[in-house]
Structure 1
Amino acid sequence: MPGLLQAPPERFGKTRYLVAAFAEFIGSGLFSFAGTAVLAQATAGPQPNVVWAALGNGLVLTASLYCCANLSGGHITPSVTIATMITGHIPFFKGLCYMLAQVCGSIFGIFLVVGLIPETTVGMGNNAVGCFHPGPGITKGMLFGWEFVLDFILVSTVYAVAIGQPTFGNVAPLIVGFALTADLFAGGAYTGGGVSPARVLGPAIVFNCHWDVAWVYILGNMSGGIAAGLMACPLYGDHAPVWDKMMPWGDHHMERESMSRMLDAAENGEQRPQGNIMSADHLTTVVATDNSAAFDPARPTKIKTFALARG
């Protein structure tokens, strides 16, 4: 069974991409709106309340994940999406749809902020609530480093609890929310804890604020997500076939190798497949069908079905 943050079994027919993308739109919008509202309260006093901001945003992310996890997989942030695209857990086109929906959702969430929080207006500039900027003395190089590390921690947690098998099941979104809280405790005072490129772009677009550093946040976030995904390949397997030669211990690679050896042996008359597979011809069909599936975790592969049947 796929983890909560992987795409679930496809059951939407021709509309599955629209349903999943809309779920990402809603999840990102909730995260952007409620997270910004929390920041507005945390920064209302003379001294920013980092504890309030960290706990509030962690809870908001957890709620957003639970809202859309069963529809889209609950990526919420492009950092998670690009990592899963690289490791082969979702198709490329679906990933692009997700990221577009996440950015649009964040923009929508900030428009809700404009409508519901007093003294906020479109295009109000760098003084707008929710606009991310580095703390005093933080250079662009430091900003990139912080955002890289913070996103690496978050995306690594996603792989550990929701993608690597066995998953943590229904508590996975809660653990990911804890990871964001830890991120904000560590780096909130230095960078504001952007973490999500969509979360950074939403306020920047609506309020027209801090474009001079927005690209640094986005570059750091995406780089951290990619690095976490690449690290996850040798640890958890289930990666795209392109990585097999470099990391031959991945689950799918080992299953394909086992199937290939059994097929070769059956064709040479050395042995016949056991279990529910009745002929080498059927085994050929299984392997060919699985190769065409591109190992999309949204569709459980027939190789895995065969392996379970034999067990």
Structure 2
Amino acid sequence: MPIHKFTLGSPGEASQPDAIKASFAEFFSMIIFVFAGQGSGLAFDKVADGGGSTTASGLIIASLGHAFALFVAVSVGANISGGHVNPAVTFGALVGGNISLFRSIMYWIAQLLGSVVACFLLKFATGGKVTPAFGLSSGVSVWNGFIFEAVMTFGLVYTVYATAIDPKRENLDIIAPISIGFIVGANILVGGAFDGASMNPAVTFGPAVLTWSWTHHWVYWLGPMTGAAIAAIVYDTLFISDSMHDPLTQYNDF
């Protein structure tokens, strides 16, 4: 893809009101997503008297909880920040020239902090239950996990580009948050039993901080970021022409 689409931006963006508001929107959207999504797993585990989250029913609950939560989180942040709610989605938008590097950094900080805060809130609200850190299941290698995360995040970011970034999307605005939530829910049904199906470095980061467990943590960063970059390059190169490309505005308007 053309290198000129990558936008550095300037440090001055950190003091711009719209960038600050957008960062706060990402922070609160991430709290909503992680609290409801990860909380659904804790709730089902309690109802099932332990071990429930590892069963088939627990996987379905996790899928639905994350799909519903992400639909809402994306919707409430869409008009302010674009509703990324995921460092990998932000990276995909950055690769395609739809957001500047400096604003991306602001988003990443807000997203990571939001996840950590949500996990601490869950711990306090549940009387001490800790959101478990993401990890690979028995028999799943780090490269298996990497491929899972990369492919699942490719599908997520490809969906974001098709329904939220593509300037030809026309009347797909309402469909975008629904589609994004659905693809995450579907991917959890596929990869949840193998590596937890994160697709989101921030979602992995919060529990890791709370439990201080960093085993194979890099898989949940490198995999999603790789998948996001490939999806951005593929969609932007094949389906978004240079004449229709409008950096920094498209993803903030769905």
Query: TM-score scaled by structure 2?
Result: 0.85
> Equivalents in 2 of 1:108, 1:74: separation in Å?
18
Query: 1:76-117: per-residue Cα shift (whole Å, max 9, x none)?
Result: 001110111111011111111111110011111111111101
Give the SS at the match of 2:78.
helix
Check the 8 A contact 2:22/2:80 in 1, yes or no: yes
Q: Describe the shift of the 1:224–1:299 C-alpha distance in structure 2 as closer, same or farther (beyond 3 A).
A: closer
Shift of 1:181: 0.8
Asked if the contact 1:39/1:130 (under 8 Å) is kept, the reply is: no
Q: Is the 8 A contact 2:149 2:220 kept in 1?
A: yes
Taking the TM superposition and a 5 Å limit, the aligned residue runs for 1:143-158 are: 143-158=145-160
Segments of structure 2 that go 5 or more residues without pairing to the other structure are 1-14
**Counterpart Cα distance in 1 of 2:174 and 2:236:** 23
- Cα distance in 1 for partners of 2:40, 2:16 equals 38
- How far apart are residue 229 of structure 1 and its match? 0.8
Instruction: Give the distance between the partners of 2:82 and 2:122, measured in 1 at CA.
Output: 26
Give distance in 2, aligned partners of 1:54 and 1:76.
Answer: 17
SS at match of 1:213: coil
Listed as ranges, the gaps of 5+ residues in structure 1 are 1-12, 121-127, 238-248, 254-293, 301-311
Looking at structure 2, the residues matched to 226 and 53 of structure 1 have their Cα atoms a distance apart, in angstroms, of 26
Match of 2:227 among 224, 227, 244: 224
Q: Which residue of 2 aligns with 1:236?
A: 239
Q: How many angstroms does 1:144 deviate by?
A: 0.6
Alpha-carbon contact 1:110-1:203 (below 8 Å) kept:
yes
Q: Which structure is richer in relative contact order (CA contacts within 8 A, separation 6 or more)?
A: 2
CA 1:155–1:295: 2 relative to 1, 3 Å: closer
Match of 2:210 in 1: 206
* Counterpart Cα distance in 2 of 1:82 and 1:90: 9
3-state secondary structure, aligned to 2:175? helix
Shift of 1:236: 2.9
How far, CA to CA, are the matches of 2:211 and 2:77 in structure 1?
27
What is residue 190 of structure 1 aligned with on the other side?
A: 194
- Paired positions, count: 229
Match of 1:142 in 2: 144
Q: For residues 14 and 298 of structure 1, what CA distance do their matches in structure 2 show?
A: 19
**TM-fit CA distance, 1:150:** 0.9
Could you tell me which of 89, 93, 104 is aligned with 1:84? 93
2:243 is aligned with 1:251: yes
In structure 2, relative to structure 1, the CA distance for the partners of 1:298 and 1:183 (3 Å cut) is closer
Q: Judging changes above 3 Å, is the alpha-carbon distance between structure 1 residues 54 and 299 closer, same or farther for their aligned structure 2 residues?
A: closer
Contact kept in structure 2, 1:236 and 1:250, CA below 8 Å: no
1:148-187 to 2 correspondences below 5 Å: 148-167=150-169, 168-187=172-191
Whole-angstrom CA distance in 1 between matches of 2:185 and 2:220 = 18
Q: Deviations over 1:26-47 (max 9, x none)?
A: 0111111111111113344344
Distance 1:41 1:23 in 2: 26
One of 102, 107, 119 as aligned partner of 1:110: 119
Q: TM-score, normalised by structure 1?
A: 0.70
Q: Secondary structure of 1:41's match?
A: helix
2:71 aligned residue: 62
The answer for the alignment partner of 1:37 in structure 2 is 39
Q: CA deviation at 1:234?
A: 1.6
User: Percent same amino acid among aligned pairs?
Assistant: 31
**Please, what is the CA RMSD of the aligned residues?**
2.0
* 1:51 maps to which of 50, 60, 66: 60
Task: Say which one has the larger Rg.
Answer: 1
Q: Which residue of 2 aligns with 1:296?
A: 248
- Residue 299 of structure 1, CA deviation: 11
Q: For residues 299 and 208 of structure 1, do their structure 2 counterparts lie closer, same or farther at Cα, with a shift above 3 Å needed?
A: closer
8 Å CA contact 1:147, 1:224 repeated in 2: yes
Q: Distance in 2 between matches of 1:32 and 1:204?
A: 13
2:7 aligned partner: none
The 2-side partners of 1:103 and 1:190 are apart by: 24
The runs of at least 4 consecutive aligned structure 1 residues that moved more than 6 Å come to none
